[in-house]
Chain A
Amino acid sequence: MSPDPNDVVILGAGMHPWGKWGRNFVEYGVVAARAALADAGLTWNDVGFLAAGNTMRNGYPGYVAGSTFAQALGWRGNRVSSSYAACASGAVAVDQARAQIQAGRCDVALVVGADTAPKGFFGPLPGERPEDPDWVRFRVLGATNPTYFALYARRRMEQYGATPKDFATVKVKNSRHGLANPNARYRKEFGYDEIAESPVVADPLRLVDICATSDGAAALVLASAEFAARRDDRDRHVRIAAISTVTPQYPNTYLDMPDIATDSGVGAALPERSFRDSIAAAAYEEAGLGPDDLNLAEVYDLSTALELDWYENIGLCGEGEAEALLHSGATTLGGRVPVNPSGGLACFGEAIPAQAVAQVCELTWQLRGEAGERQVDGARVALSINQGLFGHGSCVIATR
């Protein structure tokens, strides 16, 4: 049987470890790219298309990351793309690479995301820009990213009776998951007492509830199913079953970063699903799979409390049931559907354009059975999901 021309396979995954190294982001990206190519048994000379996630805080090379990495790896005249979708940039780059393969324009594509992050809170880009909502929220309200995370966390407490202890339980879980991950920045087990001593940043969230900003890089090598079928390592191939990069539907009456107000519900029917629910729903629809099929998930735990929201958004449980699911152990390694077996952002911190690519690296290693001590036994279906500010959804479902 000839392979489906729409099938795209992950042949290689690689990272530069996350940390606060202070080097040029291009250096990290090249390390990750070479690691992914070596993992695939290929070289840069085999790559027909390079898709990169951009970074906004490293000058012009970051805005044209595709050509920046192509130059660093050595100009070969191949085609590139440079995508920015905030936290979803990496998934958009994966989608760009997949589309080029599906269109028959190349057999092998390389995806790279890398970042060098400033210390402390992310701020807006410099300059006085009253027409930029990201500037306005900092200038006028002091509404940092943790402010929004805290509003979501407090909402869970008010609506569902969640407690700071529930949020701490997410931290305890993820810190254990990441202990054995060689690419994680924080490999340290957290207990409840230590979490309770962490300073409050934005009530109810403490410093250890909120993900740090990190340096790091991740890369993937994708190939057409036809190309992959000619190789003798088929037991290591992971299939991309779906990529969702949807935006919200009007009117989006849920508070999303960086806006200081939602859409108005007047004059239009509310969408059938919330934005975050719709990100996963689009991926499930494309894959022909549902939440019950998942063996693991990597979700964007910008805060501990946000991980609980994602349980509901991806359908692991109903609204208001995430705390019970967490405490049942279902989302812990060894449970029914481990969430963030990599350790998540709690152990990595966020390297914006690399993070969604890193999520897919973890899916790849898990589905191959190469995740070592954090391996989810018998994993066959895995999902990664995140949301970039300004309305970028991203979700990838991979299978083996």
Chain B
Amino acid sequence: MSKARVPVIDGYFTEDGGQARLLGGRCGTCGAFFFPKQYSFCRNPACGAPDLEDVALSTTGTLWSFTDNRFAPPPPYPAGEPFEPYGVAAVQLDEEQMIVLGQLARGTDVAALHAGQAMELVVEPLYEDDDAVHTVWKWRPA
């Protein structure tokens, strides 16, 4: 029997229907997006609307910058033994006009990346324990 796939953090993303989506907030008054939703209200000082709509963000964007982490971070990062290096990408979403970080999908060739290229969202395992596969959103070249 395969293990359950459980998001490493609640409320940030889904993979319902096999489609990775980031979950954010959108202000119905000024139009601003927020990721994570974080608060119930709009942080635009010229707006300050009291509530935000739940919204799924764009699943594609352009690469702003990227790196490759070669040393194990401190807890609470679930670094395994032996430590497996991982990439991190900063991706610009056009519609939302915001940058969202994510790890690079496993197997991404970091040396072949360049700013401005198209990227797409996926959900992949971050780590696995006896009970579940703990998942997270990641970016990969489109």
Cross-chain contact A200 with B70 (CB below 8 angstroms): yes
Interface residues on chain A, number (Cβ under 8 Å) = 48
Q: Mark B60-74, 1 if CB is under 8 A from A, else 0.
A: 000011111111011
Cross-chain contact B101 with A143 (CB below 8 angstroms): yes
Q: Is A275 among interface residues, defined by CB-CB distance under 8 A? A: no
Cross-chain contact A261 with B100 (CB below 8 angstroms): yes
Choice from A130, A151, A264 contacting B9 with Cβ under 8 Å: A130
Nearest Cβ on chain A to B124's Cβ, whole angstroms? 12
Q: Is B75 among interface residues, defined by CB-CB distance under 8 A? A: yes
Cross-chain contact B73 with A142 (CB below 8 angstroms): yes
Residues of A within 8 A of B99 (CB): 253-255, 261-262
Residues of B within 8 A of A136 (CB): 9, 36
Q: Mark B90-103, 1 if CB is under 8 A from A, else 0.
A: 10000111111111
Choice from A123, A199, A268 contacting B73 with Cβ under 8 Å: A123
| Interface SS of A by simple majority | loop
Nearest Cβ on chain B to A9's Cβ, whole angstroms? 36
Report the stretch among A152-160, A216-224, A350-358 that lies at the interface: A152-160
- Complex Cα gap A264–B110 (Å): 27
Query: Which residues of B in the span 24-47 have a Cβ within 8 Å of any Cβ on A?
Result: 27, 30-36, 38, 43-47
Cross-chain contact A251 with B44 (CB below 8 angstroms): yes
> Given A143-B101, A264-B34 in contact, is the A151-B90 Cβ separation under 8 Å?
yes
- Complex Cα gap A39–B27 (Å): 55
Residues of B within 8 A of A159 (CB): 115
Q: Is B8 among interface residues, defined by CB-CB distance under 8 A? A: yes
Find the B residue at minimum CB distance from A136. B9
Cross-chain contact A266 with B65 (CB below 8 angstroms): no
Residues of B within 8 A of A135 (CB): 76
The CB with the most chain A CB atoms within 10 A, among B31, B38, B68, is that of B68
> Given A123-B75, A158-B114 in contact, is the A144-B69 Cβ separation under 8 Å?
yes
Find the B residue at minimum CB distance from A154. B65
Q: Is A138 among interface residues, defined by CB-CB distance under 8 A? A: yes
> Given A138-B74, A139-B77, A260-B100 in contact, is the A147-B33 Cβ separation under 8 Å?
no
Residues of B within 8 A of A253 (CB): 97-99
- Complex Cα gap A256–B9 (Å): 21
Cross-chain contact A121 with B31 (CB below 8 angstroms): no
Q: 5 other contacts beyond A128-B76, A143-B73, with CB at 8 A cut-off?
A: A120-B74, A203-B67, A261-B101, A262-B98, A263-B43
> What 7 A-B pairs have minimum CB-CB distances, sorted nearest first?
A265-B97, A123-B74, A267-B30, A158-B115, A150-B67, A267-B31, A264-B33
What are 22 pairs between A and B in contact, CB < 8 Å?
A123-B75, A128-B76, A136-B9, A144-B69, A151-B90, A155-B65, A199-B70, A201-B71, A202-B68, A203-B67, A251-B32, A260-B35, A260-B101, A261-B36, A261-B100, A266-B31, A267-B30, A267-B32, A267-B47, A268-B44, A268-B46, A268-B47
